[in-house]
Chain A
């Protein structure tokens, strides 16, 4: 993976970019590994026939085999078209934009484990809007408090569906 770069220019940039070709090959390789895993497990549980019909691994075995063939076909095709027109998968600016959503979202999911869904949602909304949108407190604070509050009233109070809670809710006795 290339270093994320702050320039938001599109293709044609002199900076590094991620090539579609490489992503295609990596994806196909991952699929190939998954296929191997599926076949391995199918053989483990038995992929043959019993007196009354196929064993538990019969069906996954052929599914895995097909997945393997398909990913090999994609690999071969990528190999054959090597050196031809290779479109940009992500230009540097785009990598930055995508990572700017992906990484905070992953952090948000992690935070749910520690803080519960309400507090981490409020924090995520607040920080994201401040950082990405550069909005003032007048806009970010009300939204980041209102959204979790509405969710709380809708799920916890109205529909009685419990969402993960954290230390704050315990402290408030909710």
Chain B
């Protein structure tokens, strides 16, 4: 078992005193970020990224990925105790988590949520451990056409699997691509869309977009309600934890289903949020008592939490092996790798073995540490949420401004952050999905580069994308995913034409 050997070496890397300390700091920061409105996995990691420039890449990624796990755990706390999802992927957790808390079962709900998160993450990590080296080995054979095909697959599956308005998904994505194209074109050396300004030479950094879209946008959204947090007090003691743990094995089938949904949605860039909704929906549909859902059913907590964590974790698989992130947070981590001088992709597994396996080992350790930390520190986090929003909001805005500035030491970025904040706010209110825009901003240059390299290879002949079985089948799969919803959409359209006054669909997207 080559993987197990590598993994053991990874544990040796991750288990140094300094890295363990960074892991715990990362988890604590992550839970804090997850609990606070306006700060989430993606922008939290983006803001803290500059602080890690002086660390070794392995230590830095361990800390940053632990922030991500912490944020995944933290989202559940606000959902269950305050009925306010701290993160978009914990929206589905509020459906049954908050009713449970109202019935005085907050401890049980929290234990179930944390444990399911842990199980989901663990399953996804095991999958990464064994699948990632295979994918990486396979991807070593990839040339530019194959990489473009995989990137195409990413974006097609976004469009095909989007629950919302297809045109809005496409608009959001192409806006991201357009912004990515701004600046110096590396192939021809021409300036694109700079319109004579020197500031735009650098183009738009997606880290700034992430901080604005998810940070400022979220604050504006929360502010709309003139937020007053009203929470349920929670007590977790070992007795409640044991009792809940004894109950959980009975729901193993729900967990397995949630893990499968989560891993699939994480590898294909569906992301944690749709995974949690899908898992909740499936659990409800299959359950013998669907009417009990929404009234404090423990399965209603297990299903979305397991799936969200499994998806959040498996999003790292395509990021590490192909250089294609499966979620906005994975995209930010990918940005970090590039800044530290590591090129994500199959070669990473060959050239930087220590780094990759140190990271994978840290996922195991980080999630164990995370579970223990959140189980023991819940009351603190709940206390933080009792701080009035008019204190938290300006502090978060200050943190976002500093985070945006430090990315390039540029004031223009702080202004852009505010602009992205307004865009994020309006897009969220109009149900434009934000994830495609962020991923397009990250992958835009890469996708264009691999497309143009392919064209150089084939001298402008598009048939290169069907030139062998590998690239041909990926492109075909991409097109199938793209057109997946078409038959249903046509059917829906016909139905809607007949029922002119049908109520508009509730659209839930990240």
A interface list, Cβ under 8 A from B? 8, 20, 23-24, 27-28, 31, 34-35, 37-38, 41-42, 45, 49, 52-57, 59-60, 63-64, 66-67, 69-71, 73-74, 77, 81, 84-85, 87, 89-90, 93-94, 97-98, 100-102, 104-106, 108-109, 112-113, 117, 121, 124-125, 128-129, 132-133, 135, 139, 143, 147-148, 151, 154-155, 159-164
Contacts and interface: CB of A to CB of B under 8 A. Distances in A.
Contacts of B220: 98, 101-102
A63 B178 contact: yes
29 contacts: A27-B427, A35-B174, A54-B452, A54-B460, A56-B188, A60-B177, A63-B174, A64-B178, A69-B170, A70-B168, A70-B174, A77-B165, A81-B504, A90-B224, A94-B225, A101-B220, A102-B220, A102-B422, A105-B418, A109-B415, A112-B414, A121-B401, A125-B398, A129-B391, A133-B388, A133-B390, A154-B51, A161-B51, A164-B405
Contacts of A41: 192-193, 195
Nearest to A73: B167
Interface in B361-407: 388, 390-391, 393-395, 397-398, 401-402, 405-406
Contacts of A71: 167, 171
A98 B459 contact: no
Contacts of A124: 394, 397-398
B448 interface: yes
B216 A105 contact: yes
Contacts of A67: 170-171, 174-175, 178
Given A66-B170, A106-B418, A133 B178 contact: no
Q: Is the interface of A mostly helix, strand, loop or mixed?
A: helix
A57 B192 contact: yes
Interface of B: 50-51, 54, 165, 167-168, 170-171, 174-175, 177-178, 181, 185, 187-188, 190-193, 195, 216, 219-220, 223-226, 388, 390-391, 393-395, 397-398, 401-402, 405-406, 409, 411, 414-415, 418, 421-422, 425-427, 429-430, 432, 448, 451-452, 455-456, 459-460, 501, 503-504
A151 B400 CA distance: 12
A34 B409 CA distance: 27
A78 to B, nearest CB: 10
Contacts of B224: 90, 94, 97-98
A117 B220 CA distance: 21
B394 A128 contact: yes
Given A70-B167, A125-B395, A151 B175 contact: no
A54 B193 contact: no
Nearest to B501: A84
Contact of A20 (B167, B192, B430, B452): B430
B76 to A, nearest CB: 26
Q: Is the interface of B mostly helix, strand, loop or mixed?
A: helix
A100 B430 CA distance: 21
Nearest to A95: B224
B455 to A, nearest CB: 4
Nearest to B451: A59
A60 B168 contact: no
Which of the listed residues A31, A70, A117, A135 has the most CB atoms from chain B within 10 Å of its own CB?
Answer: A70
B391 to A, nearest CB: 6
A98 B411 CA distance: 24
Nearest to B432: A27
A42 B361 CA distance: 46
Contacts of A55: 188
Given A74-B167, A125-B395, A128-B393, A60 B401 contact: no
A108 B185 CA distance: 34
A164 B393 contact: no
A60 B168 CA distance: 19
Contact of B223 (A101, A160, A163): A101
B51 A159 contact: yes
A49 B443 CA distance: 23
B411 A113 contact: yes
A117 B174 contact: no
A27 B167 contact: no
A37 B421 CA distance: 22
Contact of A70 (B170, B395, B448, B451): B170
A41 B185 CA distance: 13
Nearest to A31: B171
Nearest to B453: A53
